[in-house]
């Protein structure tokens, strides 16, 4: 049904998707609203048969200079040894220096900054931390992980995101909060109306930093950074980092410790391939046949537009596939419901825009399917990072028309 390699067809004329590179660049940008991506980059065999030396951390969680109650919580969660990003970044964050951390998705970046920052609050109850993320789903996920680490510690947090009642968030902001976790737009509103006083925050985290500093958010981030004390701790974490973003980082971090434990752009646990769609063939029919195969048991499908994602999910439902959708036109309640149904295996397919590509930790996703080619290769890296997380294996397939 789908081939394990990509070959350029010969003798094709106008309308062929894989003509000369200059033509491909023009057509890909106009059709996909992004950069041209060589389809060969979507093919990468996982390394199941390759013998990999197991990671041996320099520290155990019990070795870190953190509060005893936090060590107990970590042990109760069953965490014995840190992941590479945790092992290398936690000691530096505990020293209150700026950190730029790059690690593959699914490797524990959230705990890498939460653990030392919780310890910071335990040492000084007046400490306030601002965590800025690109999507409301990621903000909620980080808050849930924070609450899991801080049970019975009297550490308080509030999530400030759009798409939900602003009144509830305003009420929560009247009380002292050690952690404020939010998206740039809603945070900017609260800052401008004096409900968040940036001068009181000496620590800021940008999770998915490359997305937070692209041209869609950079002006809001400049406003937030300008309002914070000059003497602060700034932490940036991401799976990818472009040259353009590197330049912007210089504005915000002071002599950062750079930690990169990303072994390659994509996880070695993910088997990547293309699904070649012949001109005139139905992508929906090909997709439907694939989803009926036994091993496609928990599938995340990415589309380009909100309208296209919703239409695709409805078509799949009509064909008898248990599916849900998540995109920007859905309310907060609808998006949370869709995520819950997918996480709990009530539905086997979640169709999403790139709103679901960043940071979300969904267990046991068997396949990621790019029904539409992503706008950039970085977007591709983040999309397929929803499968093959941690030590699990996963498959990523990208539909390519010719």
In tens digits, the chain (402 residues) has pLDDT values of 444 333 333 232 333 333 333 333 333 333 445 678 888 888 887 654 444 456 678 889 999 999 999 999 999 998 888 999 999 999 999 999 999 998 877 788 999 999 999 999 999 999 999 999 988 889 999 999 999 999 999 999 999 998 888 999 999 999 999 999 999 999 999 999 999 999 999 999 999 887 777 757 888 989 999 999 999 999 999 887 777 778 778 889 999 999 988 666 666 788 999 999 988 889 999 999 999 999 999 999 999 999 999 999 999 999 999 999 999 888 888 988 999 999 999 999 999 998 877 767 788 999 999 999 998 888 898 898 889 877 788 999 999 988
- Residue 14: the pLDDT is 32
Angle, CA of 61, 159 and 330, to the nearest 5°: 120
Q: Strand locations in 336-401, DSSP E?
A: 349-352, 367-370, 394-401
Helix (H) or strand (E) segment spanning residue 99: strand 99-102
- Residue 385: the pLDDT is 86
Q: How far is CA 175 from the centre of its chain?
A: 30
- Residue 265: the pLDDT is 62
- Token pair 């504005």 is found at 251
Which residues have CB under 8 Å from 290's CB, separation 6+? 1, 2, 275, 296, 369, 397
Compute the distance between CA of residue 193 and CA of residue 5 in angstroms, rounded to an integer: 55
CB 316 within 8 A of CB 265: no
Helix (H) or strand (E) segment spanning residue 175: none
Helix axes 109-123, 68-76, angle to 10 degrees: 150
* End-to-end CA separation in angstroms for the chain: 15
Structure letter (DSSP) for residue 44:
B
- Residue 315: the pLDDT is 96
In the chain, the domains with their CATH numbers are 21-50+268-401 (3.40.50.300), 61-260 (3.40.50.300)
- For residue 129 the two structure tokens come to 């931390």
Q: How far is CA 105 from the centre of its chain?
A: 7
Q: Which of 204, 274, 250 is nearest to 8 (CA)?
A: 274
CB 181 within 8 A of CB 207: no
- Residue 53: the pLDDT is 58
Q: 347-362 burial, b if ≥16 CB within 10 A, otherwise e?
A: bbbbbbbbbbbbbbbb
Structure letter (DSSP) for residue 53:
P
Compute the distance between CA of residue 105 and CA of residue 361 in angstroms, rounded to an integer: 9
- Residue 112: the pLDDT is 96
What SS3 class is residue 7? coil
Compute the distance between CA of residue 85 and CA of residue 102 in angstroms, rounded to an integer: 8
């Amino acid at each position: 049904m789908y081939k394990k390699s990509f070959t350029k067809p010969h003798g094709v004329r106008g309308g062929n998707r894989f003509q000369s590179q200059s033509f491909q660049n023009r057509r890909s940008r106009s059709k996909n609203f992004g950069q041209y991506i060589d389809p060969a980059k979507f093919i990468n065999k996982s390394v199941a048969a390759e013998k990999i030396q197991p990671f041996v951390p320099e520290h155990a969680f019990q070795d870190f200079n953190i509060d005893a109650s936090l060590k107990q919580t970590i042990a109760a969660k069953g965490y014995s040894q840190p992941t590479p990003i945790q092992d290398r970044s936690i000691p530096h964050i505990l020293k209150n220096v700026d950190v730029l951390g790059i690690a593959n998705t699914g490797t524990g970046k959230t705990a890498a900054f939460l653990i030392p920052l919780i310890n910071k609050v335990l040492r000084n109850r007046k400490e306030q931390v601002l965590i800025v993320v690109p999507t409301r789903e990621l903000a909620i996920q980080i808050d849930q992980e924070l609450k899991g680490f801080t049970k019975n510690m009297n550490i308080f947090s509030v999530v400030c995101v759009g798409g939900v009642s602003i009144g509830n968030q305003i009420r929560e902001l009247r009380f002292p909060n050690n952690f404020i976790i939010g998206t740039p737009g809603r945070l900017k509103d609260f800052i401008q109306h004096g409900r968040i006083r940036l001068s009181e925050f000496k620590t800021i985290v940008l999770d998915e930093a490359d997305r937070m500093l692209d041209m869609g958010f950079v002006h809001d981030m400049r406003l937030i950074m300008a309002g914070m004390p000059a003497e602060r701790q700034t932490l940036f974490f991401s799976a990818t980092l472009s040259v353009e973003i590197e330049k912007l980082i210089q504005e915000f971090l002071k002599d950062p410790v750079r930690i990169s434990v990303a072994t390659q752009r994509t996880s070695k646990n993910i088997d990547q391939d293309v699904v070649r769609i012949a001109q005139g063939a139905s992508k929906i029919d090909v997709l439907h046949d694939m989803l009926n195969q036994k091993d496609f048991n928990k599938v995340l499908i990415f589309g380009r537009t909100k309208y296209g994602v919703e239409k695709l999910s409805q078509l799949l439902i009509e064909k008898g596939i248990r599916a849900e959708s998540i995109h920007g036109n859905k309310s907060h309640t609808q998006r949370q419901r869709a995520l819950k149904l997918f996480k709990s295996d009530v539905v086997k397919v979640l169709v999403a825009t790139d709103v679901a590509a960043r940071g979300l930790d969904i267990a046991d996703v068997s396949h990621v399917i790019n029904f539409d080619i992503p706008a950039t290769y970085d977007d591709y890296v983040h999309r397929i990072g929803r499968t093959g997380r941690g030590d699990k294996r996963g498959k990523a397939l990208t539909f390519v028309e010719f």
